[in-house]
Amino acid sequence: VTALELLAPLRVALRGVVTEGGAPLAGALVTLERKADESEESGRMMMFGMGGGPSGRTDGRGRYEVQNVKSGDYTARVTHKSRAMPAEVDVTIGSDDRELDIALDVAVIEGRVTGPDGKPVARAKVRVERPSSGRPTGAVRMVVAFAGGESDESTRMWGGDEPTARTDEDGRYSLRGVQPGVKLVVKAEAKGFRSAKSEELELGPNDARARVDLQLLQSGSIEVSVFRGGELQADGI
Within 28-148, residue ranges assigned H as helices are 38-43
Q: Report the first-to-last Cα separation within the chain, whole angstroms.
A: 85
Predicted TM-score of the model (pTM): 0.70
pLDDT tens for each residue of 164-210: 799 999 999 999 999 999 999 999 999 999 999 999 999 999 999 99
Output 137 or 215, whichever has higher pLDDT: 215
Task: For residue 186, list its beta bridge partners.
Answer: 128
- Max Cα-Cα span within the chain: 89
State yes or no: pLDDT of 151 exceeds 90. no
Output 4 or 88, whichever has higher pLDDT: 88
State yes or no: pLDDT of 144 exceeds 60. no
pLDDT recorded at residue 112: 98
Determine phi and psi for 39, rounding to 5 degrees.
-65, -40
Give residue 177's region: left, alpha or beta (phi > 0; psi -120 to 50): left
SS3 content of the chain, % helix, strand, coil (to 5): 5, 45, 50
State yes or no: pLDDT of 14 exceeds 50. yes
State the DSSP H helix or E strand holding residue 74, giving kind and residue range, or none if neither. Answer: strand 72-79
State yes or no: pLDDT of 234 exceeds 80. no
pLDDT tens for each residue of 19-61: 999 999 999 999 999 987 543 443 443 443 444 589 999 999 9
Mean pLDDT, the chain, as a whole number? 81
State yes or no: pLDDT of 142 exceeds 80. no
Output 226 or 23, whichever has higher pLDDT: 23
